[in-house]
Structure 1
Amino acid sequence: MKRYFRSALLLTPRLQHMTYAVGYSNCVSLSQPAITSGSRNDSFDAVRGCLDLPSTGPAATTVTWNTGQTSAISGTTTAVNVGGQTVFTWQGTVTSGLFTGAGFTEVIAQNSLNLLACVFAPGVTTQSGTGTFIST
Structure 2
Amino acid sequence: MSLSETRKRQNKLKSIFTKFVIGLFGIILILWSMPLSELDITTIRGQHIGLTGRWTMTAIGLIIIGYSVFYKPKLPSKMVELEDTICPTCETPFGIGEAPQNELCPRCKVLLEPLKGFYDRHPELKDIKSEKN
TM-score if structure 2 supplies the norm length? 0.24
By relative contact order (CA 8 Å, sep 6+), the higher-ranking structure is 1
Which structure: greater helix fraction?
A: 2
TM-score if structure 1 supplies the norm length? 0.24
Greater Rg, structure 1 or structure 2?
A: 2
Which structure: greater strand fraction?
A: 1
